């Protein structure tokens, strides 16, 4: 029983979640309309909002029915994340409070006292004076991604997604977010129990209002769950219970009680669309089959990435990358289990492949956690669980094509590819903070750490063109910030300069610094 429970949790996907039900999934007036820039990316809005809910620690309250406004902490955290995405980290307190009111229009007027009450939050700090400081990298442990979006008849877009804090052992939240004309109209949580589990270990994300087609002869096993209703819409509908009695008709709403096992006997197959309703009921079911075919109407794949900057990551924009930098790529629209695979050796089944090709050389990653590299690029292990993801470092300039492929039962299912332009790697210059004659015919050198390189080269000579008595010293660690040149000649004048180098298959150098002139008198 425990093993079965773990299996259900780990198949977070390419097994998947029937994230469902558009008919009642948007709770009216769950949150007042929120002003955002019309050009702001919906995915960023989704991630920032879900992050702020998590940081506030009030997810149950914010996702509750009849909730008219968000709590103060969520409003403040969302505003801080929005400022950070705009590159602003120091904001006057009055301006910050006004932005909270604008972001959550009609909710309330916010004061400095509200900020002070949550002043030591993870997304920002406020000491009660004139400035709010936004903290970099707040909530990096949250994995949030969109399963897809749907265009509504009123011109709005409903986004369906999932978010989980990998630092905590909690179930992921499945969320519906409605956006219209640049405003967040409402959001609500979809119960994470709404799962359709295919016991061969496979499945694909199915969006609300989508449907699947099941083969005749399949046993449908019901068990008690939250209220979910399936509309059986095939004209050739024929479902019978164990006693051979007909249980449903074409177009009807039907639930499979937990105490029953129903039998699908239709020769033409059965198309099912799922709906969520407010009343308690028994609607969720498991497909107890190892060879069932599933036809997916919507499985929208896409690639997104985050750019590593120092110790933090920033949302990637555009298709231009820089050689030598690290990028965290994710395949959205499909999930997988933690190092999940049936069988071993030649019988092991692959769930996905991520193929990266740069300058004619290719590396291919699968769900097996393994670091890969060649002369053109390297692929590192991403986050365990969640959507397929890898950390990719292009070493040279060129065209990088990333192709992701999904498999079911060892056979090709669907693929997605995108090409990025990798610009030539440039290394920042390093300059001396000081260059002084030290006792014992030495020159003591100091410089500031340069994180863009692998190490440094120091060159010194007795002429400014570095032709006479020229020597070069290589320092292999970029954390080294000082060096002493020894055994020099007294009364002579030396010229010294420094440059940075970076090893990425090839070795790249920055330009030389301006030369420092030092006379040896000691």
Please give the pLDDT value at position 357: 97
Q: The tokens 């930098």 sit on which residue? A: 325
Nearest-CA neighbor of 53 among 133, 142, 134?
142
- Distance, in Å, from the CA atom of 495 to the CA atom of 461, rounded to the nearest integer, reads 5
181, 38 Cβ separation under 8 angstroms: yes
- Distance, in Å, from the CA atom of 392 to the CA atom of 358, rounded to the nearest integer, reads 11
Please give the pLDDT value at position 275: 34
- Distance, in Å, from the CA atom of 302 to the CA atom of 148, rounded to the nearest integer, reads 10
Task: Tell whether pTM > 0.75.
Answer: no
Please give the pLDDT value at position 205: 33
Alpha-carbon distances, residue 368 vs 167, 187, 363, 389, 504 (angstroms): 22, 35, 14, 11, 25
- Distance, in Å, from the CA atom of 80 to the CA atom of 122, rounded to the nearest integer, reads 10
Please give the pLDDT value at position 429: 95
Taking 50 as the pLDDT cut, the residues of the chain under it are: 1-40, 64-68, 138-141, 166, 191-243, 247-298, 335-342
Q: Which residues of 142-161 are buried (b: 16+ CB within 10 A; e: fewer)?
A: bbbbbbbbbeeeeebebbbb
Total length of the chain: 522
Alpha-carbon distances, residue 219 vs 24, 36, 288, 381, 413 (angstroms): 28, 48, 7, 39, 24
Nearest-CA neighbor of 333 among 165, 205, 191, 207?
205
Query: What strands lie across the sheet with 124-126, from one edge to the other?
Result: 90-92, 131-134, 124-126
């Amino acid at each position: 029983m425990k093993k079965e429970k773990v299996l259900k949790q780990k198949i977070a996907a390419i097994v998947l979640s029937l994230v469902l039900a558009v008919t009642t999934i948007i709770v009216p007036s769950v949150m007042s309309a929120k002003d955002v820039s019309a050009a702001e990316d919906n995915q960023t809005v989704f991630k920032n909002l879900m992050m702020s809910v998590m940081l506030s620690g009030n997810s149950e309250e914010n996702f509750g029915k009849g909730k008219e406004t968000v709590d103060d902490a969520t409003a403040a955290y969302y505003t801080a994340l929005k400022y950070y995405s705009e590159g602003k980290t120091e904001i006057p307190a009055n301006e910050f409070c006004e932005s909270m009111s604008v972001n959550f229009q009609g909710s309330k007027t916010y004061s400095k006292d509200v900020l002070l009450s949550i002043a030591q939050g993870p997304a920002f700090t406020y000491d009660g004076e004139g400035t709010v400081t936004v903290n970099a990298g707040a909530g990096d442990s949250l994995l949030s991604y969109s399963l897809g979006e749907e265009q509504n008849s009123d011109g709005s877009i409903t986004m369906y997604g999932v978010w989980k804090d990998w630092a905590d052992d909690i179930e992921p939240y499945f969320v519906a977010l409605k956006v219209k004309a640049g405003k967040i109209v409402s959001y609500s949580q979809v119960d994470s129990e709404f799962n359709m589990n295919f016991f061969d270990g496979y499945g694909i994300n199915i969006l609300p209002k989508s449907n699947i087609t099941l083969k005749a002869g399949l046993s449908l096993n019901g068990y008690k769950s939250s209220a979910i209703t399936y509309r059986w819409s095939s004209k050739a509908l024929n479902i019978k219970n164990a006693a051979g009695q007909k249980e449903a008709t074409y177009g009807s709403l039907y639930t499979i009680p937990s105490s029953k096992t129903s039998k699908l006997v239709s020769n033409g197959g059965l198309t099912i669309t799922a709906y969520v309703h407010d009343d308690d009921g028994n609607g969720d079911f498991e497909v107890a089959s190892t060879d069932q075919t599933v036809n997916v109407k919507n499985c929208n794949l896409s690639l997104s990435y985050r750019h590593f900057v120092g110790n933090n990551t920033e949302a990637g924009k555009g298709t231009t990358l820089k050689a030598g930098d690290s990028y965290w790529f994710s395949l959205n629209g499909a999930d997988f289990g933690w190092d999940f695979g049936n069988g071993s050796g030649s019988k092991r089944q692959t769930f996905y492949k991520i193929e990266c090709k740069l300058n004619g050389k290719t590396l291919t990653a699968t769900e097996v956690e393994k670091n890969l590299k060649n002369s053109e690029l390297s692929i590192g292990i991403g986050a365990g669980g969640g959507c397929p993801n890898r950390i990719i470092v292009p070493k040279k300039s060129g065209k990088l094509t990333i192709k992701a492929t999904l498999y079911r039962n060892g056979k090709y299912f669907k693929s997605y590819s995108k090409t990025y332009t990798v610009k030539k790697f440039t290394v920042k210059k390093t300059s001396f903070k000081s260059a002084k004659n030290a006792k014992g015919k030495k020159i003591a050198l100091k410089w500031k750490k340069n994180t863009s390189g692998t190490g440094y080269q120091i060159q010194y000579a007795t002429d400014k063109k570095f032709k006479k008595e020229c020597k070069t010293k290589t320092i292999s660690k970029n954390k080294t910030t000082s060096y002493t040149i020894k055994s020099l000649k007294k009364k002579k004048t030396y010229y010294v300069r420094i440059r940075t180098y970076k090893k990425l298959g090839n070795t790249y150098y920055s330009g030389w610094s301006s030369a420092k002139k030092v006379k040896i008198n000691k």
